[in-house]
Chain A
Amino acid sequence: MSGYSRSEPLARTAPMEANVRKGVTPASQSHRLPGDGIIDRRLPLQFSFDGKTMTGFAGDTLASALVANGVKLVGRSFKYHRPRGIVTAGSEEPSALVEMRTGARREPNTRATTQELYDGLIANSQNRWPSLRRDFMSINQLFAPIFVAGFYYKTFMWPAKFWESIYEPMIRRAAGLGKSAELPDPDHYDKAWAHCDVLVVGAGPAGLSAALAAGRAGSRVILVEEDTLIGGRLLSDGGEIDGLDAREWLRGAARELVSLPNVRIMTRTALFGVYDGGTYAALERVSDNVAMPDRHQVRQRIWRIVAKRSVVTAGAIERPIVFPGNDRPGVMMASAVRTYVNRFAALPGKRVALFTNNDDGWRTVETIERAGAHIVAVIDPRHEVPAQYQRLVDTYDLRVLAGVVSEVKGGVDGVRSIVVANDKNGLTQRIDTDCLAVSGGWNPNVGLSCFHRGKPTWREDIAAFVPGSAPKGMATAGAANGELSLSACLREGHGAGARAAAECGAAGKPGEASKADDEVYAIAPLWHVKGKGKAFVDFQHDVTASDVTLAQREGFESVEHLKRYTTLGMATDQGKTSNINGLAIMAEATGRTIPETGTTIYRPPYAPVAIGAFAGHHRDENFHATRLTPSHHWAAKQGAVFVDTGLWKRAQWYPRAGEKDWLETVTREVLAVRNGVGFCDVSTLGKVDVRGADAGVFLDRVYINSFSNLAVGKARYGLMLREDGIVYDDGTTSRLAEDHYFLTTTTAKAGPVMQHLEFCRQVLFPELDVQLTSATDQWAQFSIAGPNTRNLLRALADPSEDLTNEGFPFMGAREVKLRGGVTARLFRISFSGEMAFEISVPARYGAAMAENLMIAGKPYGVTPYGTEALGVMRIEKGHVAGPELNGTTTADDLGLGKMMSKKKDFIGRVMAGREALTAPNRQVVVGIKPIDKARRLRSGAHVIPKGAIPGPQTDQGYVTSVCFSPMLDQWIGLGLVERGRERTGEIIRIHDPLRNEDYEAEICSPVFYDPEGVRQRG
């Protein structure tokens, strides 16, 4: 076993800790049996339930420890606040839900039946106030006649505004199951992948047989088991296999599996989802069995398991019978009674009554009698003792009653007596008992086989649904397949395991299947005992038999309607014990058969999964990856304030002591650039190396303008469209050699543009000789701008480099040598409108470049500037960016229509010519200046004609980008305005209903500063 799974599949046989506290069974464990059980009596554990301290043993669940302590009442129900106890001993538990732990680790709705006991465990009951025994809201029971299916729909309809303010808070206080923690989860969660040939789901006799067969044959096997131990019902019901006691056989099977290096056993791991292509999801409860996870250990881990084949041996769930009072504490599934006695040595009752309609329930007689307790009566509606159990009647002098349980009497502490009615003669009799064991038959666990919309099929002989068609690659075996006897489980499991291994190409021998005696399983379906009092179908959502029949009378006959109208099966247990009973009662009410009535659609997750487990480590600062620019740490040292742009963190501005707000800082940075020199890290721009003989032709096809005619050593601004004619992205592209271009994209579109370019290259134009390489992370790029840029660069560049206007003109692009020998790429391009260069060096020199820019620029007062100052300067120059390239604008809308080449085809050319995209009344980019110079312009504000009433009919556009312009000493902005270019000088109204602002502004040219472009060419 190559596990990082640290759980141990075998029962503990030796103390786990050195400091074993010796002791006899403490007095509080009044219902602990002296028999063996699979608990470690050398390891007593202390825990508290509702503030009361109790003890249990290692190997106990919280539920079994509560049973051992004689606790029957463990919670109040969801709707009626009825007293509730423990119903099952497994993950299907609908009733014994508790609030586990405290503070930040508090978690509601934890099934006491799956919660392992640990020393110091703290649990509290739910849904009660002020205390479990005296619950104020149990008055809901008195209102019960009106508290029926659809109550909320019918009652809280009117007036509508009452819903949010009164009804919902009130209902939320009254209902709900426990309170979640109000603090951030302190634990870690993990996600992991596992791959195998054969995945076996469930480690009962069928699953163990499947894993053994596939493992022996040589397949890579993963065996997942939600319980802490492997064995399934063998742990509770025993039996004889291959002539051995079941537990002895189990130890042998476990030893063999552990010895096979190709088999991995994962206990505490519940499979909850089946996905396409043989992908499965499981939840491993790594640390739920301790007070808090070990240091650096996770609490839970989600596994995605990829398997060529799977064998689902998930067993079956015993179903309750619906009869009046069937929710009283002390009414328990017969199989659970046997589990508590045989596995946990905890006695649920001393005078047990058994109500069963099938042979399997009769097993309970021997379990109880051997434990030294008594079966006070067996109630079997079949009017006949099964032949195989006839001997029990004599051995234990059993009182067998033909009939049904029609009433359960008792208090908050549970059952005191039951009334048995003979359904033939109508006579009733009362029987005193402290525990009623119930078996209505077994429902195979068909869920996993139905997650791909497969429909289960009905098997009359066992009165249950069995898997219909399973998802591709999945087989079902054993009780999960409707084969309920031990011998059939062993045989089917082995066969399915061997077949799966063979289908995966395993050549080894699967060995022989283990053998057990054939048993008879006979059942006479009994769904519902009519009578006075509430008979519960869904214990967790308090849905009664009369709610189901009411739904039918009101027309909600479809099972999907029944489910939503009554909330049957919609609680955290997803109706594992209730769905089939609910649809059987619906079938009876409508006069249809059960298969005609059908089941609701099965969907994952099979078991509840905490959202934290799905998130794994992707939370807080690790919610997504963080990308840092090459100068990030340098900028942080300068005190930069960072802003998230996609995954990147970019310096937004660099505050200095004494500056009162960000605006003062940004204004200083802008003025420093416009009057001196500044620099900004622009490495986040997407960068793509385009090489090949056809590189120029390729770029001609993806950009609206031409690049094949760009001279080597020159850069050009380019605009690309989507195929539907809308602007996609922009950037500058430089030609570094005849067959080598260097293309840049916006920061936001770097990934999508690369994908788009690859699509063009690989799919649309595969005949072109061109290759693309993403180089975004390889280059650190800085924009250096301002009148002193050239002076600064001269201090950095090798003296042989000619940086004069003639030697390096505007839009020039070439490699230059820096002092010290590093080769850089230098581009004379300007986003700010100033004399500017962008310099690129390999990313590893990025931080050093920032330092050297500071040193070289010191005589000129060089100022690092952030994205905000960058934005101010681009708005002053009327350059469009993200807010204008918003997925609705055309090249012409942006004022770039003239760039569209008429001489060639390019992506988006034809569709851009459509009528609506060339209409004269389109909203186009303009400049906007408030008339009142003190006004702060806000982006998102609407543009309407002066004098018009604001509304959709008069709306003519909106403000897209704004800034405070230090050069104009007022707020300015860009906007998209209908026929905007024809309206320069017009006074319009800016209407901002969100901020309740309304004022006048002037439409102007988007180029506010240096419209002739003298400065950038200087």
Chain B
Amino acid sequence: MRIACPFCGERENGEFTYLGDASPKRPNFAVDGGESPERVEDAFYDYVYLRDNVAGVMREYWYHGGGCRSWLVAERNTVTHEFISVTAAPGAGAASAVRAGE
């Protein structure tokens, strides 16, 4: 498999580490925001454990540990292993931090 890192170019998949589904978003909550603990726990439970077993195109996280150490978001067809797109995670690279809301 070949993965086109947006910083390093096309590289062999041995340079990368797979993490999994890039769709779940880490729940945001304020510690003293008065939110129901059950609701927060349910949201985290979904975030940590619940995954779809996609046969087809899926967004997933890959880490270029053997290269630029960037986290990447790839669209990959799990049936054909074809990569449709590979983009950098929002905070990847040495660019200045992404301000909230940007």
Q: Which residues of A contact B (CB under 8 A)?
A: 193, 275-279, 304, 306, 472, 692, 694, 723-724, 751, 754-755, 758-759, 761-771, 902-905, 910-911, 913-914
Are A763 and B97 interface neighbours, CB within 8 A? no
A277 to chain B: closest residue by CB: B2
Minimum CB–CB distance for A175 against chain B, Å: 38
Partner of B29, one of A762, A771, A905: A905
A758:B97 contact, CB within 8 angstroms: no
* B51 CB-CB contact with A under 8 Å: no
Q: With A902-B31, A910-B41 in contact, do A758 and B81 touch (Cβ < 8 Å)?
A: no
A763 near B61: Cβ-Cβ < 8 Å: yes
CB–CB A905/B31 < 8 A? yes
Q: Is the CB of A763 within 8 A of B48?
A: no
Q: In whole angstroms, how far apart are the Cα atoms of A692 and B70 in the complex?
A: 18
- CB < 8 Å: which of A275, A762, A913 contacts B89? A762
Cα A393 to Cα B17 with chains together (Å): 68
- Find chain B residues with CB under 8 A from A278 CB: 2
Closest residue of chain A to B29 (Cβ to Cβ) is A905
Q: A758-B63, A904-B31 are in contact. Are A766 and B91 (CB under 8 A)?
A: yes
CB contact under 8 A between A694 and B97, given known A277-B1, A759-B71, A763-B89: yes
Chain B interface, >50% SS class: loop
User: Would you list 14 pairs from A and B whose C-beta atoms are within 8 A, ordered by A residue?
Assistant: A277-B81, A278-B2, A304-B12, A306-B12, A692-B97, A723-B44, A723-B48, A751-B65, A763-B89, A763-B90, A766-B98, A903-B31, A911-B41, A913-B41
Taken together as a complex, chains A and B put the C-alpha atoms of A765 and B80 apart, in Å, by 32
**One of A275, A692, A914 near B41 (C-beta < 8 A):** A914
Which residues of chain B in 81-102 are interfacial with respect to chain A, using CB atoms and an 8 Å cutoff? 81-83, 88-92, 94, 96-100, 102
Contacts of B29 in A (CB 8 A): 905, 910
Tell me whether A755 and B100 are in contact in the complex, defined as CB-CB below 8 angstroms, given that A279-B2, A766-B91, A905-B31 are known contacts.
no
Residues of A within 8 A of B40 (CB): 910
Assess whether B98 is in contact with A755, with CB atoms less than 8 Å apart: no
Q: Are B91 and A763 within 8 A (Cβ)?
A: yes
Chain B positions within 8 Å of A, measured between CB atoms, are 1-2, 12-13, 17, 19, 26-27, 29, 31, 37, 40-41, 44-45, 47-49, 61, 63, 65, 69-71, 80-83, 88-92, 94, 96-100, 102
B60 to chain A, nearest CB (A): 12
Instruction: Specify which chain A residues have a CB less than 8 angstroms from the CB of B102 in the assembled complex.
Output: 767
Distance of A724 Cα from B88 Cα, bound (Å): 26
A765 to B88, CA, bound (A): 14
Of B1, B47, B82, B91, which one neighbours A765 at CB under 8 angstroms? Answer: B91
CB neighbours of B65 from chain A (8 A)? 751, 755
Known: A276-B82, A914-B41. 13 other contacts (CB 8 A): A277-B13, A279-B1, A279-B12, A759-B19, A762-B88, A762-B89, A762-B90, A766-B90, A905-B31, A910-B27, A910-B40, A911-B44, A911-B45
Residues from chain A with a CB closer than 8 A to the CB of B81 are 276-277
Residues from chain A with a CB closer than 8 A to the CB of B12 are 193, 279, 304, 306
Contacts of B89 in A (CB 8 A): 762-763, 766
Instruction: Name the CB-closest residue of B to A771.
Output: B94
The 6 closest A-B pairs by CB, nearest first: A766-B91, A277-B2, A762-B91, A766-B90, A767-B100, A276-B81
Q: Is B91 a contact of A769 with CB atoms below 8 Å?
A: no
Given the known inter-chain contacts A723-B48, A767-B98, please indicate yes or no for A762 contacting B70, CB distance below 8 A. yes
Please state if A761 and B91 are interface contacts (CB–CB under 8 Å): yes
Main secondary structure of the interface of A (DSSP, over half): loop
Contact B19–A306 (Cβ < 8 Å):
no
Does B94 lie within 8 Å of A755, measured CB to CB? Answer: no
Which residues of chain B are near A913, meaning CB under 8 Å?
Answer: 37, 41
| Interchain CA distance A193-B63 in the complex, whole Å | 22
A724 lies within 8 A of B71 (CB): no
Whole-angstrom CA separation of A304 from B94 in the bound complex: 33
Say how far A575's CB is from chain B's closest CB, in angstroms.
Answer: 27
A553 to chain B, nearest CB (A): 38
In the bound assembly, the distance between CA atoms of A472 and B79 in angstroms comes to 13
Chain A residues lying within 8 Å of B13, measured Cβ to Cβ, are 277
CB closest chain-A residue, reference B17? A755
Q: Are B97 and A306 in contact (CB under 8 A)?
A: no
Given A279-B2, A770-B97, A903-B31: A758 in contact with B69 (beta carbons within 8 A): yes
The answer for the CA separation of A903 and B102 in the assembled complex, in Å, is 27
Contact of B63 among A755, A765, A911 (CB under 8 A): A755
**A757 CB, min distance to chain B CBs, angstroms:** 10
Q: Which residues of B contact A769 (CB under 8 A)?
A: 96-97
> Which chain A residue shows the least CB distance to B98?
A766
Which of chain A's residues have a CB closer than 8 A to the CB of B80?
472
Nearest-CB distance from A263 to chain B (Å)?
Answer: 23
Distance between Cα atoms of A903 and B32 in the complex (Å): 8
Inter-chain contact B48/A724, CB cutoff 8 Å: yes
- Bound-state CA distance A218–B68 (Å) is 33
Closest chain-A Cβ to B14's Cβ sits at a distance in Å of 10
Which partner residue on chain B sits nearest A904 by CB separation? Answer: B31
Q: In the complex, A764→B19 CA distance in Å? A: 14
Chain A residues with Cβ below 8 Å from B82 are 276-277, 472
Q: How far is the CB of B82 from chain A (nearest CB, A)?
A: 7
Give the complex CA separation of A763 and B83 in angstroms.
20
Between B17, B40, B94, B97, the greatest number of chain A beta carbons within 10 A of the residue's beta carbon is seen for B97
Contacts of A902 in B (CB 8 A): 31
Contact present for B97 and A276 (CB under 8 Å): no
Do residues B44 and A275 form an inter-chain contact, with CB atoms below 8 A?
Answer: no
Please, which residues of chain A bring their CB within 8 A of the CB of B70?
758, 762
Q: How far is the CB of B29 from chain A (nearest CB, A)?
A: 7
The minimal Cβ–Cβ distance linking B1 to chain A, given in whole angstroms, is 4
CB distance from A776 to the nearest CB of B (A): 13
A722 to chain B, nearest CB (A): 9
**Which chain B residue has the least Cβ–Cβ distance from A772?**
B69
Residue pair A762, B100 in contact (C-beta under 8 Å): no
Q: In the bound complex, what is the Cα–Cα distance between A275 and B13 (angstroms)? A: 12
Q: Identify the closest chain B residue to A193 (Cβ).
A: B12
Instruction: List residues of chain B with CB within 8 A of the CB of A277.
Output: 1-2, 13, 81-83
A192 to chain B, nearest CB (A): 13
CA gap between A759 and B83 in the complex, in Å: 21
Contact partners of A694 in chain B: CB under 8 A: 97
**In whole angstroms, how far apart are the Cα atoms of A787 and B27 in the complex?**
49
Q: Which residues of A contact B1 (CB under 8 A)?
A: 275-277, 279
Q: Which residue of B lies closest to A723 (CB)?
A: B48
- Distance (Å) between the CB of B15 and the closest chain A CB? 12
In the bound complex, do residue B71 and residue A762 qualify as a contact, i.e. CB atoms below 8 Å apart? yes
Find chain A residues with CB under 8 A from B92 CB.
Answer: 762
In whole Å, how far is A721's beta carbon from the nearest beta carbon of chain B? Answer: 12
Chain B residues positioned under 8 Å from A275 (CB to CB): 1
Give the chain A neighbours of B49 by CB distance below 8 A. Answer: 724
Residues of B within 8 A of A766 (CB): 89-91, 97-98
Query: Across the interface, which residues of B come within 8 angstroms of A904, CB to CB?
Result: 31
| A279, A472, A694, A905 pick with most chain B CB within 10 angstroms | A905
Closest to B101 in A: A767
Partner of A767, one of B2, B19, B44, B97: B97
> Is B100's CB under 8 angstroms from A759's CB?
no
Give the distance in Å from the alpha carbon of A902 to the alpha carbon of B31 in the complex.
Answer: 8
Which residues of chain B are near A905, meaning CB under 8 Å? 29, 31
Minimal beta-carbon separation of A455 from chain B (angstroms) = 15
Residues in B with CB closer than 8 Å to A759 are 19, 61, 63, 71
Which residues of chain B are within 8 angstroms of A304 by Cβ–Cβ distance? Answer: 12
Nearest Cβ on chain B to A629's Cβ, whole angstroms: 22
Write the nearest CB–CB distance from B48 to chain A, whole angstroms.
5
| Cβ contacts under 8 Å, B44 to chain A | 723, 910-911
Q: Contact check: which of A306, A758, A771, A910 meets B2 at CB < 8 Å?
A: A306
B47 cross-chain contacts in A, Cβ below 8 A: 723
- Decide: A911 and B97 in contact? CB cutoff 8 A: no
Nearest-CB residue, chain B, relative to A764? B26
Q: Which residues on the A side are within 8 Å of B96 (C-beta)?
A: 769
Q: In the complex, what distance in Å separates the CA atom of A910 from the CA atom of B30?
A: 12
> Which of B48, B71, B83, B99 touches A911 (beta carbons < 8 Å)?
B48
Q: State the CA gap A771–B95 with chains docked (Å).
A: 10
